[in-house]
Structure 1
Amino acid sequence: AFGDLRFYGRENAENRGITRFYSRAYGSEYARSDHFAIHLEDNKQLKSLYLDAEKEDGYLRDQSVFGDGISIEDTMGVIVKYRNKAIMTYSLNAYMPWEGFRVNFNGSNGRIEVDICESSYVNAGGDHQDEGKLVYKKIIVHPMFGKPYEVDIEEKEGGHGGGDPELLNDLFGVPAEDRFKRAASHMEGAYSVLTGIAANISIRTGLPVKVADLVKFKIAR
């Protein structure tokens, strides 16, 4: 894995000629001209959820992404090999002018391309319910030795293409039949987190990392 802080953080901002900095947006005049700033006081829901709750948890939601102490990678490339010999290549750029993802599956019967663009309620200053709301979506199937075709995607209400209500119902309601076996257990969640941990170790050491060497699971996978 490779990763670095290439856009955010004070040093990167200074290299681009930025000279005015602030620690948090609330109460800062500099933040008013910063497109990356979150103005909690301008959004009733964000204000009640974060600004008014600071005395309870001390969490400052509107800190500057170009302030001191920013260290997490905003640019990353990872290659993952699984036990079943599948290989995943992962690329992250956390500062692009659009929010979404592209996923491609290559297999013995062809290729599937998924292209999703989502809205960001914070940057748009909109309702919290619009977080992850779809802007456009597309699935194209490329059969081996066949003509590619686009697959119709069922439109559902709710964030992340209708996935949020399904997830909340699965956790807190009466789970519906999951014929595609989409629901992940705590084990899948743990493996996902460990993949990220392994990537961070690889970035730091420059060496490949085996997830099996990080944690010993009692349940065989």
Structure 2
Amino acid sequence: MQTNKRKLAIVGTGHRGAGTWGRDAPATCADDVELVGLCDTNSARLAVTRDRLGAADAVASTDLDEMLDRAKPHTLVVCTRDDTHADIIVKALESGIDVVTEKPMATTAEACRRILDAERRTGRHVDVAFNYRFAPTSRKIRELLAEGRIGKVSSVDFHWYLDTRHGADYFRRWHAYKKNSGSLFVHKSTHHFDLLNWFIDSDPVRVFAQGSLRRYGRAGEFRGTRCKGCPHADRCEFHLDISKDPWLHALYEAPSAEDGYVRDACVFREDIDIYDTMTAELLYENGVEVSYSLNAFMPIEGYHLAFNGTKGRIEVRMYEKQAFDAPVGEDEILILGTDRSVERIKVSHGPGGHFGGDPLLHKNLFVPEADDPMNQRAGARAGAMSVLTGVAATRSAETGQPVDVLPLLEAG
């Protein structure tokens, strides 16, 4: 093994850990990264991942302390269940190891404070994998806003749509319980809240939100335990035959015998307690007002984003998956002036996941000479602010009251 490469270890060898970080990051940054360690509490999944990655030289262990001690990584990538992130991140920092964590960085305000404190105490660094910042369209929007193309931003409309394939997946998995994911206001919306924080270049100060469960969980008209062997399979639009996906089948089906975690749990389980329909109003420190929504059972996939400014409007409709003809491989950004002028900017997607964002994120993190003029790289504070926005939104939806964000960061 070359000593000049950054030694990378991964904890959590499910789909994201094995794919985005175990397979893709070392391939994208082959001259700068080597995979030295893998850890998962499920020994069967760990073995499958190690085999599929061809990582025979990597230390593999179900015990994180053992893996870190033997592999001695420079960076640990955290891809475990959301509510476990904080303990692992703090352990790594206190062991002198930098961290890249999947989003959300944590699920509670207290956990965010622990991570920020550990980073200050140890002098080590946390990066949060906000790959949407690196999508070409996101970068272009950030550039246009920074150039003042529409003057001073006054308000933002941001609406994200998950279709009945992607959206349903959160209700099949561990994400379906607030104790694991903090709700989709934390798990999924952390991406969107981070983009807003980055675009607007300010902190959110107050959130008023509403959430409900309209299609999944107890709203279902019938239910089983899991899709495999379900008697309702022939009439359920959400039925998933995991055997048709060799990658997921290998990672989850046989390993489920070890810990009971299945990848195709029924989306209509009555104890599901997260929302599938969410709206929020956000107020920022610089006065910008945001109208946000997330819906998880739409016939479309993608988002609508618009910035309203004193000199015009920037608008983009991103078509990811639709039943109708829509642009493929590129987005169109409209710049609408108050003088009725219209400028259309075409932005092509890049290769790799998240419209080209994944490989650009990997290079930014691991290639030593990578520059970052647009501040796309997100640290622990950015991770905390996106989480706290989601925590505030969840609390607001539960109480029916607006919630202030910044006191969550400062509370003891």
Contact map agreement 2:332 2:344 (CA 8 A) in 1: yes
Q: Does 1:6 align with 2:227?
A: no
Deviation of residue 135 (structure 1)?
Answer: 6.1
Deviation of residue 163 (structure 1)?
Answer: 0.8
Q: Does 1:105 align with 2:313?
A: no
What's 1:123 paired with? none
Once superposed, which parts of structure 1, at least 4 consecutive aligned residues long, lie more than 6 Å away? none
Contact map agreement 1:9 1:66 (CA 8 A) in 2: yes
What is the distance in 1 between the residues matched to 2:381 and 2:308?
25
Higher helix share: 2
- Pick aligned residue for 1:72 from 248, 270, 274: 274
Moved more, 1-10 or 136-145: 136-145
User: 1:24 is matched by which residue type in structure 2?
Assistant: R
What's 2:378 paired with? 184
Q: Does 1:161 align with 2:355?
A: yes
Contact map agreement 1:139 1:150 (CA 8 A) in 2: yes
Structure 2 residue runs of 5 or longer lacking an equivalent are 1-208, 323-327
Structure 1 residue runs of 5 or longer lacking an equivalent are 15-19, 121-133
Q: Given the two structures, how large is their TM-score scaled by the length of structure 1?
A: 0.81
Q: Which structure is richer in relative contact order (CA contacts within 8 A, separation 6 or more)?
A: 2
What is the distance in 2 between the residues matched to 1:159 and 1:9?
30
Corresponding residue SS for 2:243 = helix
User: 1:53 is matched by which residue type in structure 2?
Assistant: P
Moved more, 43-52 or 175-184: 175-184
What is the distance in 2 between the residues matched to 1:187 and 1:81?
19
Corresponding residue SS for 2:348 = coil
Contact map agreement 2:330 2:348 (CA 8 A) in 1: no
- Pick aligned residue for 2:246 from 44, 57, 61: 44
Corresponding residue SS for 2:266 = coil
Sequence identity percentage: 39
User: 1:36 is matched by which residue type in structure 2?
Assistant: F
Q: Does 1:197 align with 2:391?
A: yes
Against the structure 1 CA distance between its residues 33 and 172, is the aligned structure 2 distance closer, same or farther, given a 3 Å change threshold?
farther
What's 2:88 paired with? none
Contact map agreement 2:330 2:347 (CA 8 A) in 1: no
What is the distance in 2 between the residues matched to 1:33 and 1:199?
35
User: 2:255 is matched by which residue type in structure 1?
Assistant: A
Deviation of residue 55 (structure 1)?
Answer: 3.7
Q: Given the two structures, how large is their TM-score scaled by the length of structure 2?
A: 0.45
Encode CA deviations 1:50-71: one digit per residue, 9 max, x unaligned: 2233245542221111122122
Against the structure 1 CA distance between its residues 46 and 172, is the aligned structure 2 distance closer, same or farther, given a 3 Å change threshold?
farther
User: 2:388 is matched by which residue type in structure 1?
Assistant: L
What is the distance in 2 between the residues matched to 1:31 and 1:164?
35
Moved more, 22-31 or 198-207: 22-31
Number of residue pairs matched? 199
Deviation of residue 206 (structure 1)?
Answer: 1.0
CA RMSD, aligned part only?
2.3
> Mapping of 1:73-152 within 5 angstroms?
73-119=275-321, 137-152=331-346
Corresponding residue SS for 1:142 = strand
Deviation of residue 136 (structure 1)?
Answer: 5.6
What's 2:205 paired with? none
What's 1:130 paired with? none
User: 1:90 is matched by which residue type in structure 2?
Assistant: Y
Contact map agreement 1:142 1:149 (CA 8 A) in 2: yes
